[in-house]
Structure 1
Amino acid sequence: MVNILRDNPTIAVLGAGAVGCYFGGMLARAGNAVTLIARANHVAAINKNGLYLDCLSFKEHVRLNATTDVSEISGADLILCCVKSSDTEDAIRLIAPHIKKDAVILSLQNGVDNYERIRATISNPTFPSVVYVATRMAGDGHVEHVGRGELAIGAAGAPSDWADTLNTIAALFSASSVPCAVSPDVKRALWTKFLVNCAYNGISAIGAIDYGQMVETAEVKKLIDALTAEFLLIAKKEGVDISAEEAMEVNAQIPITMPRQKSSTAQDLMRSKQSEIDYLNGLIVRKGIEHNIPTPANQAIHALVKMLERKNFLTS
């Protein structure tokens, strides 16, 4: 398979919220042609003043194209899919008539099954990425970066002859000050990151609390341990073997590297938006039923976040 990403590829970010704006903005800052497909309020601000990257190491307005019109994705060689997990299939169907048949899709989404659902919806080459970044939208066209900022990408079941394309994507990000590595076992990397999502996101949302504050409560640390124990049983049934020691170390790093970050689930609830909890702890609950493994801790987190979502819906 030849590398279909030409020199100076054009890039589109589908669903440019905090994650999409950060990575799209970093690519544009390095001189790449980037179009953000985002909500109207962000588009208006970005087209007027540029995207404001409020980062740990710099603060800068970056000029790039922004639009609400999905048809402008037609020229993209690389599409970064950053929509919510619940919107994955609908978003891909929406852009399908407009994208080039050889455009590459890279999923920068929470959860572990989005790339599979994209592949089931469209024939374009699609790859997962593991996203390690703490960001939030601090205003219209204003993304705040508060921790980390690296990616791992991989084939995850795709033929090995896509290696050149993956290496090109990794080089593109790395040249844009975004560390990016091609993982030989990206499924395991996805599940390792997924562990953090399941252990931290829901609790952060329920308490409207950041990661650093969460672990100051002994009972919360015990709950994280219970969520993790259930998670590891499910992961093993799904063909991913993560040791308890490795899980403990991964979990321990989050409040150290992202102490000021509230989870994306917390940010969704604070804005009265639907969260991705069905694709986080909810997926663990469904897999538990499938594998006949009790998951009471994950079920409780899932139920409580769903309750808060419903409360937001009824009062909005």
Structure 2
Amino acid sequence: MTQIVMLGCGALGGLFAHHLALAGAQVAAVDIWAEHVAAIRAQGLRVQFPGTVVASPLRDAHTDAAALQGRAVDYLVLFTKSYASREALQSARALVGPKTVLVTLQNGLGNPQLMQAMFPQQTVLYGVTTLTSDTLAPGLIEPRSTTSGVTDLCALDSVDADGALPRFVALLQRGGIAASAAPDIALAVWKKLVINCAFNGLCAVAELTCGELVADTTMWPVLDGIAAEVAELARAHGVDLADDEASRFLRQVAEASKAHYPSMVDDLRHRRRTEIDGINGAVLRECNALGLPAPANRLVHGLVTALEARNAALAA
């Protein structure tokens, strides 16, 4: 049986853990939210669908990766916030054996490269997903776009001598996720960054779902401006992402995820640190280095950063 450890089991990590468990994998989860872990251990991860709540096979949950020490792990899947990646990987270092494959489907830029730098001998799989999910309560998540979302994966630097990529994709497919393997997903990665940059911060500041944000068409020029800046940066990196393609993708995802609150909304509500520095902030750093203007992304980054600072002051 395939042994999988999820580092981060929130809304999206939990959704993938659920589907991997449905596929027959032995899945264990590590998450720092103690109440969430306790609820999963007591009742299994609960997944809410229209009209019903399903108890997932996932019950093996812990707040510390050390609880799993000695277990042979086939896939270590990272689903933490991007700013917590290094610490999470370091905490799970003892779980990484000679054949352990590292997987990330996180937001932002640089996570696969971080994995490779920390574990240079391991195969690294990375990808993007348009699936969305919300956390309703400890131990309870609600998928928002399972029927329409897609997940694409590839091996970093095309290094996959043992066929880890097709095996992992097959597991996802068996568990009910529309997944595919691709030799190069650079375009998909940048299109996902377009979505994160356009929706996450603005939805968080306004406390709106993706659908509510675009219900008034006056927001589209703002969102298209954000998308155009990301697309220009992608082209500077050799990825052929046209402005109109980025804008079309924004509209597709807005329709598919109209009931979804990006996780950044919940982060600001609960005065937690957000991923803004790894999303719009990453775009700003790259644009600054290349001399490209990014006023729309700068505004979103500034708004969220200001709210984070306010929350920190209130907590002090």
1:122-271 equivalence runs, <5 A: 122-123=119-120, 124-148=122-146, 149-159=149-159, 161=161, 164-271=163-270
* Percent of matched pairs sharing the same residue: 27
Query: How far off its partner does 1:285 sit?
Result: 0.7
Report the counterpart of residue 15 of structure 2 in structure 1: 22
The aligned amino acid for 1:276 is E
Query: How far off its partner does 1:161 sit?
Result: 3.6
What whole-Å deviation, never above 9, does each CA across 1:149-191 have from its counterpart, x for those lacking one?
43110023132645x2211110011001111100222122111
The aligned amino acid for 1:67 is H
Distance 1:172 1:213, change over 3 A: same
Query: How far off its partner does 1:195 sit?
Result: 0.9
What whole-Å deviation, never above 9, does each CA across 1:179-223 have from its counterpart, x for those lacking one?
110022212211111111111111111111111111123332111
State the distance in 2 between where 1:230 and 1:120 align: 29
State the distance in 1 between where 2:157 and 2:50 align: 36
Query: Secondary structure of 2:130's partner?
Result: strand
Does structure 1 residue 51 correspond to structure 2 residue 40? no
The aligned amino acid for 2:188 is A
State the distance in 1 between where 2:52 and 2:17 align: 16
Report the counterpart of residue 306 of structure 1 in structure 2: 305
Does structure 1 residue 78 correspond to structure 2 residue 75? yes
CA RMSD of aligned residues (A): 1.6
Query: How far off its partner does 1:244 sit?
Result: 2.0
Query: How far off its partner does 1:57 sit?
Result: 8.8
Report the counterpart of residue 110 of structure 2 in structure 1: 113
Distance 1:134 1:57, change over 3 A: farther
TM-score by length of 2: 0.93
Query: How far off its partner does 1:119 sit?
Result: 1.0
Distance 1:250 1:121, change over 3 A: same
Please identify runs of 4+ aligned residues in structure 1 that moved more than 6 A: none
Distance 1:105 1:250, change over 3 A: same
Query: Secondary structure of 1:133's partner?
Result: coil
Residues 56 and 145, structure 1, Cα contact 8 Å, conserved in 2:
no
State the distance in 2 between where 1:147 and 1:190 align: 19
Query: How far off its partner does 1:102 sit?
Result: 1.8
Residues 285 and 299, structure 1, Cα contact 8 Å, conserved in 2:
yes
Report the counterpart of residue 285 of structure 1 in structure 2: 284
State the distance in 1 between where 2:55 and 2:176 align: 16
Query: How far off its partner does 1:263 sit?
Result: 1.3
Residues 156 and 186, structure 1, Cα contact 8 Å, conserved in 2:
no
Distance 1:29 1:58, change over 3 A: farther
Report the counterpart of residue 95 of structure 2 in structure 1: 98
State the distance in 2 between where 1:160 and 1:171 align: 15
Report the counterpart of residue 42 of structure 1 in structure 2: 36
State the distance in 2 between where 1:202 and 1:217 align: 17
Query: Secondary structure of 1:157's partner?
Result: helix
Residues 112 and 191, structure 1, Cα contact 8 Å, conserved in 2:
no
**Structure 2: tracts of 5 or more residues without a match:** none
State the distance in 2 between where 1:184 and 1:56 align: 36
Residues 85 and 114, structure 1, Cα contact 8 Å, conserved in 2:
yes
Residues 173 and 179, structure 2, Cα contact 8 Å, conserved in 1:
yes
State the distance in 1 between where 2:6 and 2:49 align: 19
Query: How far off its partner does 1:99 sit?
Result: 2.1
Query: How far off its partner does 1:93 sit?
Result: 1.4
Residues 56 and 146, structure 1, Cα contact 8 Å, conserved in 2:
no
**Structure 1: tracts of 5 or more residues without a match:** 1-7
Aligned residues between the structures: 308
State the distance in 1 between where 2:178 and 2:77 align: 16
Please, which of 64, 71, 94 is the counterpart of residue 69 of structure 1?
64
The aligned amino acid for 1:232 is A
What whole-Å deviation, never above 9, does each CA across 1:256-289 have from its counterpart, x for those lacking one?
1011111122121112111111011111111111
State the distance in 2 between where 1:66 and 1:314 align: 33
State the distance in 1 between where 2:175 and 2:192 align: 23
Query: How far off its partner does 1:140 sit?
Result: 1.0
Distance 1:57 1:190, change over 3 A: farther
